[in-house]
Amino acid sequence: MSQTAIRSACLPSGQDVSFFEEKGYWVSPVIFSNEELERIKEHQDMVYRGQYELGREPVCNWLEGQDNPAALRKTDNSHWADGTLRQLALDPTVGAIAAKLMNADAIKLWHDQLLYKPARKSAKESANVGWHQDFSYWQCAQEPTLITAWVAFHDVDLSNGCMQMVPRSHKWGLLNVSDFFEQNMDSQKDQMDVPDGEELTTVPIIMKAGQVSFHHALTIHGSGANTSGEPRRSMAIHLMTGDTVYSGRPRGEGHFNAKMMAGRVGERFEGDAWPTLFAAKS
């Protein structure tokens, strides 16, 4: 895989940007070919075997022979460990799309999250991702100037637990319910304080392999069970605009990005830990 140029045919139109601003999400055309995705999946498996070709461990990982095969596999910062996954996480087309959607001059990597939702073997098992807003986990950032690009490694629909979005929820502020690990998604919905005049609806994001969905850091999203018989693999590339600063909020101090700022409250997240995907030409 060698993508150094922006694939301009994949960039959002003005209408697409308006859709994102209104709904809080947008889905790109196919960006990654099947050949690229096959290679990415091979490298995903290397990471699960603990083979870190770049010589650095991810922040956290799921390891073959050690961790629960029925659980959702979540690896934070796989780009530290593997060159192919690093190239994916820093893809320039993904960066250029994020810049357009966020109306930003620069887009940097916040962190990546390699995901693997195993096929459910019995009704008792579940590897749901509960309804959540990413920004609730990123309180070390001052403002929600962040966006996630979710790369589908397979065709995805409700049968293999595709992502689902709550349209307009990025306009609702931080809500009382947000838990990535919660398995009972129906009770989460019942408890959610939806603002007056708004309605909680959910939209399944059905995509072809190689398409990328984008959602704002305040957009509520989650995903259900994978009943397809095959694993569902993806990468969530969490991105920030270049002016994102460290808040120093106590609630955000547990995040590894806060730790790497080492007390520099009010400063931008800048340096090798947060590589640039896109910078506008001046």
Among the residue ranges 42-50, 60-68, 132-140, 181-189, the one whose residues contact Fe ion (CB under 5 A) = 132-140
Closest approach, Cβ 129 to Fe ion, in A, equals 7
Residue 76 or residue 134: which is nearer to Fe ion going by CB?
Answer: 134
Among the residue ranges 50-58, 130-138, 158-166, 202-210, the one whose residues contact Fe ion (CB under 5 A) = 130-138
Among the residue ranges 19-27, 40-48, 100-108, 131-139, the one whose residues contact Fe ion (CB under 5 A) = 131-139
- With CB under 5 A as the contact rule, the residue among 90, 98, 134, 261 that binds Fe ion is 134
76 binds Fe ion (CB under 5 A): no
CB closest to Fe ion, residue no: 134
In the region spanning residues 147 to 166, those forming contacts with Fe ion, defined by CB under 5 A, are none
Amino acid present at 70: A
Whole-number Å distance between alpha carbons of 23 and 169: 8
Closest approach, Cβ 282 to Fe ion, in A, equals 33
8 A C-beta contact, residue 174 and residue 136: yes
Closest approach, Cβ 7 to Fe ion, in A, equals 25
Residue 91 or residue 134: which is nearer to Fe ion going by CB?
Answer: 134
Residue 7 or residue 236: which is nearer to Fe ion going by CB?
Answer: 236
Closest approach, Cβ 214 to Fe ion, in A, equals 12
Closest approach, Cβ 4 to Fe ion, in A, equals 28
What residues form DSSP beta bridges with 147? Answer: 216, 239
Among the residue ranges 13-21, 128-136, 196-204, 244-252, the one whose residues contact Fe ion (CB under 5 A) = 128-136
Binding site for Fe ion (CB under 5 A): 134
